Chain A
Amino acid sequence: MSNALEITNLKARLGDLEILKGINITVPFGEVHALMGPNGSGKSTLTHVLMGNDAYEASGSALVGGIEVMGLPVFERARSGLFEAFQYPTEVPGVSLDDLTVEMIDVADDPSAARTRAEDASQFLGMDRFMDRAINTSLSGGEKKRSEMFQLAVAGPKAAILDEIDSGLDVDAVREVATMVESLRSPSLGVLVITHYSRILRYMNPDRVHVMVDGRVVESGGPEIAERLESEGYAAVR
């Protein structure tokens, strides 16, 4: 299936510690999936390994629209259409969001389309007052997520992994982020929302929910899985 993010038998280790033990997830473009799991299940590692963090020793396959990204350098993965919204977006002092946007537009496949996406997203997300400020510096948790969503829009990826985008947010901000994610829905984009808690899923309509425990996907199904986890906890799937 070339219109999808297809993760096949993905394994990763950190030194002697095996963290991912063969992950299989397919997110067709046009769909929003949730990946849930308790702390330490390997959710964030999956994000890092997909994006190309070289701290891990990884094997397996990850196709983005049919393009194998495993083995590519980080920036080539991004240019292949993969995007990571960070759980803890890195502060880059002295570099404004505007500076970064200019560079991102520069390296886009179609710079003029990227510029239009930037303008639209800036308006939709109300980014004006953030553009001159240093990236992720002196921003609230909610503002950082908003900035990540803006960058996602500028990048115009095929597959987006949103790592714990609800962490550190109050209820209002969670609802706001969920709305932003739903607004991303498009036939050319697959979204994988990684979350520990099911509360963000109350404000979204994920097409599928995957549950990860101890480095493996133990269950995949419809949104009812999230409801069950909310009432019974992860003990139900262990």
Chain B
Amino acid sequence: MSHFDQAVSTTAGVNDPAWRSTARSTAFGMFSDDAMPTQDDEIWRYVDLDFVMDDYRPSAGATVDLGDDPLAAHIPNPTVVRVVDGLFVGEDSFAEGFTVMSLDRAAAERSDMVEVALDRSGISADGDIFKAASAAFGGDGVFVHAARGIVAPSVVAIDIQAGSNGTASFPHVVIAAEEHADVSVVVHLRSHVDTEALIVPQFSIAVGDGARISLSLVQNVGYGVRSIGSLHAEIGSDALFRFGEIGLGGRLARLHLDVGLEGRGSAANVVGAYFGEQDQILDYRYFMRHVGTNTRSDMFLKGAVEDDARSVFTGMIRIEESGQKTEAYQTNRNLILSDGASAQSVPNLEILANDVKCGHGSTVGPLDLEQKYYLMSRGLSPDSADRLQVRGFFEEALGKLPHPELATPVREWINRKYETAQAEGRV
């Protein structure tokens, strides 16, 4: 018998409004029919999923709390909320026109609002077994909503924890900014260093006309955690979505990003920095769809891998016939720091319009020997020269983060990983 039998599933669902329980049972049907994806499936091509859902059991509630979020300490006056094992912990927060609350409660108490947001930027359960599982067994998380014209009074710092060993959790963050609203959210995805768990985080982002949403995601789970995340954003006219992802942790950490530039003049800036070590697999699947005219997007990711780690970046810019006057760029640069490490970088363009500006760049390679020589000619040891070069490599990405205040802790985390790898002779 499966752990993911509906009868013994999660505590989520008790507050479901009708639309949600219908969606839930449909998703459960899909989940029951779904097999694990294989590498024959293009979108999973580079990742061998060496586990099954039943290796985990649904979390039974928030059990372990990791204490104060060290990342939130870098954000001035944040509104801090916590999601542990998929469940919102703590108090909802309300300001004028601005709501931060448990998604489960919001679905029950502000059903229309949540339904509208998810109609726009929900994540379809028929995508794969993880998306189906999330819709079937998940439900809680955080709902952030800013009404028309509201500038959120503070950055929302969401601390998502995978707490309990052996569990699967499905936290869902829904962010909706109505017309001309402005919302800023930092998500820290973390676990205890020894935790073994599956986490399937989902992000649904609805940016109204003329609105702005800035979202940073710092993925810092332990090396025993598999994280299979999805983000779906839809962007209205003259609206801006800024997204930054920092990929540090996870035995397998995947993020499937799907951004729709629907509105005329909409824009998306996507930046990433990742550092893989040991036998980590970091898998980025980024899709940018230009539908409206005069839309702009820029994807810029830099990553390094050492030891036996692997990274994958597959970027796709698709410009629909309607997407005239689009400007779209994608850049992915990778450093290979050990012989056993590897990076795949696959930028793609699909252009159906004829009046666009588009560009992509992709590199995979070791540290630059000329830079090293130059730095050593100044008396720096080979290790110091490499360390400086690795630090410099990430600066360009860190400089583009939607939340500049995160650059300091992130820089420190990355540098520490590299210095440890040097000390242990892995690079």
Q: Which residues does A use to contact B, with CB under 8 Å?
A: 51-53, 73-75, 77-79, 83-84, 86, 89-95, 99-100, 103-104, 107-108, 134-135, 151, 155
Contacts and interface: CB of A to CB of B under 8 A. Distances in A.
Contacts of A155: 378-379
B73 interface: no
A100 B378 contact: yes
A75 B392 contact: no
B389 interface: yes
Contacts of A51: 377
Contact of B378 (A73, A91, A134, A151): A151
B380 interface: yes
B375 A100 contact: yes
B154 interface: no
Contacts of B396: 93-94
B393 A75 contact: no
> 8 closest pairs, A vs B, by CB?
A94-B392, A94-B395, A95-B392, A90-B374, A78-B379, A74-B376, A75-B376, A107-B379
Most chain B beta carbons < 10 A, residue from A89, A91, A95, A99 = A95
B376 A103 contact: no
Nearest to B385: A75
B394 interface: yes
Contacts of B314: none
A95 B393 CA distance: 8
Contacts of B378: 78, 100, 103-104, 151, 155
Nearest to A85: B377
Interface string B380-423: 11101100110111111000000000000000000000000000
Contacts of A94: 391-396
Place the interface of chain B in its size category: 20 to 34
A92 B374 CA distance: 9
B230 to A, nearest CB: 31
27 contacts: A52-B377, A74-B373, A75-B381, A78-B376, A79-B379, A86-B374, A86-B377, A89-B374, A90-B370, A90-B371, A90-B373, A90-B374, A92-B371, A92-B389, A92-B392, A93-B393, A94-B393, A95-B375, A95-B395, A99-B392, A103-B378, A103-B380, A107-B379, A107-B381, A108-B379, A155-B378, A155-B379
Nearest to A89: B374
A104 B373 contact: no
Nearest to A79: B379
Interface in B289-310: none
Contact of A134 (B373, B376, B392, B394): B392
Interface of B: 370-371, 373-382, 384-385, 388-389, 391-396
Given A90-B373, A92-B371, A94-B395, A75 B379 contact: yes
B376 to A, nearest CB: 4
A74 B379 CA distance: 8
A52 B370 CA distance: 13
Contacts of B371: 90-92
B22 to A, nearest CB: 51
Contacts of B373: 53, 74, 90
Given A103-B384, A108-B379, 18 more contacts: A53-B373, A75-B382, A78-B376, A78-B377, A89-B374, A90-B370, A90-B371, A90-B373, A92-B371, A92-B374, A92-B375, A94-B391, A95-B389, A95-B391, A100-B380, A100-B388, A103-B375, A103-B388
A89 B374 CA distance: 8
A167 B149 CA distance: 58
A150 B395 CA distance: 23
Contacts of B379: 75, 78-79, 104, 107-108, 155
A62 to B, nearest CB: 15
B376 A73 contact: yes
Contacts of A84: 377
Contacts of B388: 92, 95, 99-100, 103
A103 B395 CA distance: 17
A75 B380 CA distance: 6
A91 to B, nearest CB: 8
Contacts of B394: 94
Nearest to A93: B392
B392 A104 contact: no
Contacts of A93: 392-393, 395-396
Contacts of A100: 375, 378, 380, 388
A45 to B, nearest CB: 15
B35 to A, nearest CB: 44
A100 B379 CA distance: 10
A59 to B, nearest CB: 21
A66 B32 CA distance: 79
